[in-house]
């Protein structure tokens, strides 16, 4: 799995951080998403998929075939 | 944009030419729509989703607007960066008759708020304020919120049963939290509550009352901003002033923007959450199996809160509005510039195209991409705060009062009327 984020779309809702704190964070200076782990390990995949599905600005995309994990 | 699969072309032709406020059966659809019960969705939603997803509706003012009821349409409309809410000076549809609408209902040059509406200026404002509402900052508030919730519940239990859960917990908790955040005194909550109601007025107050409340509220906030400027504290308004001083001058929030931000946050920070706490408890207690399931498995609290947010059918009668500043092509139909669009988020949340068994409350539903906080660049700024408060309330109630039950039949719960936001007037409980 490979995760992509679009900072320009992000509105700082923070759902991704609540769901997958190992993968996503928010910048202190403006609340915008930070991708901590572009290729998360399989145990995090369900939470990452959920984060992408509920992101209010569709700023997260998941490439299921990408990455080594 | 989704393609429309059902056969409503004939009706759409009517709409294109006639502009009558008609639903699928030719009846006039008026907002707010009528529900069969205090927790039930209006029956019209399903009919509109199936047969007239882009409907012409009549507002209390008599003005016409376009109501979107399907998930894909509502989400696309809210996410469209070209459009923002109706603003003072445009020719958008009025909600209220007689100019009585509060600031949030009907923009008016007399009380316009200085928050940038759209585009890059909005994003600049949003990011300056949004940094104080991140998931981590809200998580850090959680222990304090839990202590406040526990002490409010202790006081409620001491006073005896039955009790009004909204007055005892649902209202004071979010007021306390937003006042702490903003650095405003929570003891003023009765005044804040009146000002908030007037801010959100559609038909409860007269124009004079609405304007007088706005004047008092603005004067109060102007003094508060001046006090923070003179002597900054640890609160959000102070941080916006102090940390903003490090920014280039053109990026700093002006006093007018600080004033509007403070007013907006105070209203949004307690009114909507207070209502949602009451509705959450009522929805979960109205079917004992829901409450029992959460008692058995509190790990469902997170998904249960999202499902309550999705399922709530009493969010407000007008949805979030957008003013079309240019023509919009919606599934091959042109909505002309100047149209006011009401985005029916709660109807969208019941759309079977997106949510399996949409009329069933599934406390474990996941993912749950409901639109209760909106979507797109204007999606609710305080949603991490609201979620944290709802999680805390539910966790504390399940732990402290597992025998909680409604003290009246569900059908006797009374809805908040006449405001932009929906809720229950009180939530009578026993334990």
pLDDT tier at B16 (50, 70, 90 boundaries)? very low
Nearest beta carbon to residue B126 from set A11, A26, A56: A11
pLDDT at B172 over 80: yes
* Interatomic CA distance for residues B84 and B130, integer angstroms: 18
Look at B219-223, B252-256, B404-408 and tell me which has the smallest mean pLDDT. B252-256
pLDDT at A30 over 90: yes
Write the pLDDT tens digit of every residue in B225-264: 999 999 999 999 999 999 989 889 888 999 999 999 999 9
pLDDT at B11: 39
Q: What CA–CA distances, in Å, run from B403 to B154, B296, B328, B400, B429?
A: 15, 13, 52, 9, 10
Q: State mean pLDDT over B84-95.
A: 91
**B79, B133, B136: best mutation site toward chain A, by most A Cβ within 10 Å?**
B136
* Interatomic CA distance for residues B18 and B10, integer angstroms: 12
Answer yes or no: are the C-beta atoms of A6 and A56 closer than 8 Å.
no
Answer yes or no: are the C-beta atoms of B340 and B316 closer than 8 Å.
no
Q: State mean pLDDT over B318-341.
A: 95
Nearest beta carbon to residue A57 from set B128, B136, B377: B377
Mean pLDDT for chain B overall: 92
Q: Which residues of A touch B84 (CB under 8 A)?
A: none
pLDDT at A68 over 80: no
Look at A2-16, A45-59, B82-96 and tell me which has the smallest mean pLDDT. B82-96
Q: How many residues does chain A have?
A: 69
pLDDT at B387 over 50: yes
Residue B150, token pair as written in the block: 């526990």
Query: Does a structural domain hold residue A69?
Result: no
Place of tokens 């603005």: B218
Domain boundaries, chain B: 9-430
User: Residue B264 CA to chain centroid, in angstroms?
Assistant: 12
pLDDT at B23: 59
Residues 6+ apart with CB under 8 A from B232: B238, B239, B241, B242
pLDDT at B355 over 70: yes
**B119 in contact with A at a CB cutoff of 8 Å?**
no
Q: What is the per-residue DSSP string for chain A?
A: -EEEE-TTT-----HHHHH-TTTEEE-TTT--EEES-SS--GGGHHHHHHHHHH-TT--EEEETT-S--
Per cent of chain B over pLDDT 70 is: 94
Residue B138, token pair as written in the block: 């809200």
Spatial CA neighbour of B237 closest among B217, B271, B264: B264
Nearest beta carbon to residue B379 from set A17, A28, A56: A56
Which CATH number covers residue A36?
3.30.70.20
pLDDT at B6: 35
pLDDT tier at B24 (50, 70, 90 boundaries)? low
pLDDT at B25: 59
Residue B97, token pair as written in the block: 């008759």
pLDDT tier at A69 (50, 70, 90 boundaries)? very low
pLDDT at B329: 94
* Interatomic CA distance for residues B189 and B198, integer angstroms: 14
pLDDT at B57 over 60: yes
Q: What is the per-residue DSSP string for B376-389?
A: GGGS-TTHHHHHHH
Q: Cβ A26–B136 below 8 Å, yes or no? A: yes
Look at A10-14, B24-28, B132-136 and tell me which has the smallest mean pLDDT. B24-28
Strands (E), B326-427: 328-330, 333-335, 340-343, 405-406
**B130 in contact with A at a CB cutoff of 8 Å?**
yes
Residues 6+ apart with CB under 8 A from B150: B396, B400
Q: State mean pLDDT over B218-231.
A: 96
Answer yes or no: are the C-beta atoms of B75 and B170 closer than 8 Å.
no
Sheet holding B163-164, edge to edge: B163-164, B428-430, B405-406
Place of tokens 């100019």: B99
Query: Does a structural domain hold residue A45?
Result: yes
* Interstrand relation of B328-330 and B333-335 (parallel, antiparallel or unpaired): antiparallel
* Interatomic CA distance for residues B37 and B24, integer angstroms: 22
Domain B9-430 has CATH 3.30.930.10: no
Nearest beta carbon to residue A29 from set B131, B135, B136: B131
Query: Does a structural domain hold residue A68?
Result: no
**A9, A10, A15, A45: best mutation site toward chain B, by most B Cβ within 10 Å?**
A15
ipTM of the complex: 0.96
Write the pLDDT tens digit of every residue in B138-151: 999 999 999 999 99
Query: Does a structural domain hold residue A20?
Result: yes
Q: State mean pLDDT over B24-37.
A: 83
* Interstrand relation of B340-343 and B64-68 (parallel, antiparallel or unpaired): parallel
Q: State mean pLDDT over B21-35.
A: 76
pLDDT at B26: 60
Q: A3 — phi, psi (to 5°)?
A: -105, 135
* Interatomic CA distance for residues B140 and B269, integer angstroms: 17
Enclosing domain of residue A33: 2-63
Q: State mean pLDDT over B334-345.
A: 97
What total of structural domains would you count in chain A?
A: 1
Instruction: Bin B25: left if φ > 0, else alpha if -120 < ψ < 50, else beta.
Output: alpha
Distance from CA of A5 to the nearest CA of B (A): 15
Q: Cβ A11–B130 below 8 Å, yes or no? A: yes
Q: Which residues of A touch B (CB under 8 A)?
A: 9, 11-15, 17-18, 25-32, 49-50, 53-54, 56-58
Would you give the DSSP letter of residue B29? P
pTM of the model: 0.93
Query: Does a structural domain hold residue A43?
Result: yes
pLDDT at B112: 72
């Amino acid at each position: 799995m490979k995760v992509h984020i679009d900072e320009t779309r992000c509105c700082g809702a923070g759902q991704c951080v609540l769901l997958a704190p190992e993968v996503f964070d928010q910048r202190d200076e403006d609340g915008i998403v930070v991708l901590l782990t572009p290729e998360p390990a399989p145990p995090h995949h369900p939470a990452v998929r959920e984060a992408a599905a509920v992101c209010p600005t569709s700023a997260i995309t998941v490439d299921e075939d990408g990455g080594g994990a | 944009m989704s393609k429309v699969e059902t056969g409503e072309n004939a009706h759409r032709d009517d709409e294109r030419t006639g502009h009558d406020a008609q639903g699928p059966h030719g009846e006039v659809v008026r907002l707010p729509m009528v529900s069969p019960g205090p927790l039930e969705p209006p029956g019209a939603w399903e009919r509109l989703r199936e047969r007239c997803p882009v409907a012409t509706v009549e507002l209390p003012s008599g003005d016409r607007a376009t109501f979107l009821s399907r998930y894909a349409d509502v989400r696309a409309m809210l996410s469209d960066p070209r459009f923002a809410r109706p603003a003072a000076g445009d020719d958008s549809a009025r909600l209220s008759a007689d100019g009585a609408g509060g600031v949030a209902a009907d923009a008016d040059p007399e009380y316009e708020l200085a928050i940038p509406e759209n585009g890059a200026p909005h994003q600049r404002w949003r990011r300056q304020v949004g940094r104080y509402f991140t998931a981590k900052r809200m998580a850090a508030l959680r222990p304090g919120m839990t202590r406040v919730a526990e002490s409010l519940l202790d006081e409620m239990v001491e006073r005896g049963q039955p009790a009004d859960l909204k007055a005892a917990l649902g209202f004071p908790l979010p007021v306390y939290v937003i006042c702490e955040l903003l650095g405003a005194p929570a003891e003023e909550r009765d005044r804040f509550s009146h000002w908030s109601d007037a801010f959100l007025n559609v038909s409860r107050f007269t124009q004079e009352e609405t304007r007088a409340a706005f004047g008092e509220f603005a004067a109060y906030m102007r003094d508060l901003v001046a006090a923070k400027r003179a002597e900054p504290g640890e609160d959000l308004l102070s941080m916006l002033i102090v940390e903003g001083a490090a920014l280039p001058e053109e990026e700093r929030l002006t006093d007018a923007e600080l004033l509007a931000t403070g007013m907006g946050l105070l209203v949004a920070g307690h009114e909507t959450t207070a209502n949602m706490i009451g509705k959450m408890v009522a929805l979960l207690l109205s079917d004992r199996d829901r409450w029992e399931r959460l008692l058995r498995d509190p790990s469902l609290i997170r998904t249960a809160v999202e499902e309550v947010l999705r399922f709530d059918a009493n969010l407000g009668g007008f949805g979030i509005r957008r003013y079309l500043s240019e023509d919009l092509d919606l599934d091959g139909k042109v909505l002309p510039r100047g149209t006011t669009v009401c985005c029916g988020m709660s109807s969208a949340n019941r759309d079977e195209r997106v949510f399996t068994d949409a009329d069933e409350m599934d406390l474990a539903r996941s993912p749950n991409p409901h639109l209760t906080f909106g979507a797109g660049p204007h999606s609710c700024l305080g949603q991490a705060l609201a979620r944290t408060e709802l999680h805390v309330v539910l966790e504390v109630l399940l732990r402290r009062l597992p025998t909680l039950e409604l003290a009246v039949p569900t059908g006797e719960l009374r809805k908040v009327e006449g405001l932009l936001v929906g809720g229950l007037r009180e939530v009578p409980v026993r334990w």
